[in-house]
Amino acid sequence: MKSIIINQKQYFNSNATKPVAFRLEQLKKLRTVLKANEKMLTEAVYKDFQKGSYNTFLTEFAGVYVALNDAIKNVGRWSKIKRAGTSMVNFPGSSYVIPEPLGSCLVIGSWNYPINLTLVPAIAAMVAGNTVVMKPSELSAHTSAALANIISNNFDPSYFAVLEGGVDVTTEALSQPFDKIFFTGSVPVGKVVYQAASKNLVPVTLELGGKSPLIIAPDANLKTTVKRLVWGKFVNAGQTCVAPDYVLVHKSIEIDFLSTLKNEIAKGDFFLENDNYAQIISEKHFDRLTSMIEPTKVFIGGNHDRSKRFIAPTVLVNVTEDDKIMADEVFGPILPVMIYENIDDAITFIKARPKPLSLYLFSESSSLRKKIWGEISFGGGMVNDVLMHFVNESLPFGGVGNSGMGNYHGEAGFKTFSHFKSVIHRPTLLEFPLKYFPFTKLKFALIKKAFGV
């Protein structure tokens, strides 16, 4: 690992990665390599999750191609030196903001979308002109191996390398003097990463998780709400960082909501044999999830099979804040439903907890929308839909407070992996004497006048 980092630093210091032409060439190469190996990667995802090719294209590759195309289209514009205004005290002069890459960047991914959540940050590092070391999660082992294989076969490790392994490997990587660490994963490990990075003063971006609420107001279009909720909650068997974690539904529509939900889930195709759904990633996570299912509160589903790591879409009702399901992020196909009567109570409930990564509101009311946006802090979200804000390159994606720090996607990703150098260029012809010694009374009076005091 040490030699990879030394080589990457040397390569970076040779300035090879900085020209826009180099970045473009590497991004295009990655696109070609991905297309050529899409089948192999899809098979690896199948081994990890039992997900079919359509499912994997939609949830993994689509976002990567969007990120690649966006980076290829905009690398020239984003990398340009920008003019800035010049303050009076620096007159005459010209001010510039110069984007520069940070150096060798470590990207640590989580297992739930093992291709997207490693490659999209890696693309952001590349478009900004950095070298990259990528560490996919050991839990999605087949995909991690496939990524390591295609990257090592096609890229020089001095520019783009993949580390494979578990906590020991990540721990060693975190002790190295990288120039940037980009981490996607859980809150507890996010704290470990932050602490480790502080030893070398490495800047970090933390893309973490938490409990993302979904509020259903009395005026919501129930049919559409439920259709979108069911898709967003159960795609990838709920193993999605931005999945709605729990529902807060208004008391007046509870019965209608639950019966619409039951019909919608019954229509769905949630059998593993069909590969539209997904396996739970490991037996440990399976056990964690099934321990959250309180049998007396099951309204839909509840059935599971450990040998297949399968948990049916499950809805829990009469849930209170003291239930186990409300203690931590669910990160699986179990949906707790809670009732509210007054929107201010729902807002208070959310604000009493760590700031969510996502928040979803289903309502036709613009005043309610503005109230929620104004009163609750959350990473990002949607009104009348779920998840899809993740796939809009024009929107920075990231958490706030416990759900993370920093953001990426599109230009936000470029900025995350760049330093913006501020420089003033002054001509040598003109000179104003007021700042120079000796500080006389006359100069003092003049300078005060110049500042309008």
Nearer to ligand NAD, 116 or 225 (CB): 116
Nearer to ligand NAD, 67 or 261 (CB): 67
**The 3-state secondary structure of 231-295, one letter per residue:** HHHHHHHHCCCCCCCEEEEEHHHHHHHHHHHHHHHHHCCCCHHHCCCCCCCCHHHHHHHHCCCCH
Which residue has the closest beta carbon to ligand NAD? 209
CB of 398 to ligand NAD, least distance (A): 7
Nearer to ligand NAD, 129 or 209 (CB): 209
CB of 361 to ligand NAD, least distance (A): 20
C-alpha 74/C-alpha 24 separation (Å) is 10
> Is 223 buried (19+), middle (13-18) or exposed (0-12) by CB count in 10 A?
exposed
The DSSP symbol for 111 reads S
Instruction: Take residue 343 and report the two structure tokens written for it.
Output: 């929107």
CB of 138 to ligand NAD, least distance (A): 5
C-alpha 362/C-alpha 221 separation (Å) is 8
Nearer to ligand NAD, 275 or 329 (CB): 329
C-alpha 242/C-alpha 259 separation (Å) is 25
Q: Is the peptide bond before 92 cis (omega within 30 degrees of 0)?
A: yes
C-alpha 107/C-alpha 60 separation (Å) is 17
CA 359 to chain centre: 14
Nearer to ligand NAD, 37 or 403 (CB): 403
CB of 382 to ligand NAD, least distance (A): 15
CB of 128 to ligand NAD, least distance (A): 19
Nearer to ligand NAD, 60 or 264 (CB): 60
Distance in Å from the first CA to the final CA of the chain: 59
Nearer to ligand NAD, 95 or 186 (CB): 186
Q: Is 364 left (phi over 0), alpha (psi -120 to 50) or beta?
A: alpha
Instruction: Take residue 233 and report the two structure tokens written for it.
Output: 């909650």
C-alpha 272/C-alpha 289 separation (Å) is 17
Nearer to ligand NAD, 204 or 317 (CB): 204
Alpha helices in 276-409 (DSSP H): 283-290, 343-351, 366-375
Q: Which residues are catalytic?
A: 207, 241
C-alpha 110/C-alpha 101 separation (Å) is 24
CB of 120 to ligand NAD, least distance (A): 9
What are the residues binding ligand NAD (CB under 6 A)? 108-112, 117, 135, 137-138, 166-167, 170-171, 184-186, 189, 192, 207-209, 241, 329, 331, 357, 399, 404
Cross-strand pairs, 338: 248
> Dihedral, CA atoms, 84, 85, 88, 94, nearest 10 degrees?
50
CB 256 within 8 A of CB 222: yes
Cross-strand pairs, 99: 420
> Is 427 buried (19+), middle (13-18) or exposed (0-12) by CB count in 10 A?
exposed
CB of 174 to ligand NAD, least distance (A): 6
CB of 404 to ligand NAD, least distance (A): 6
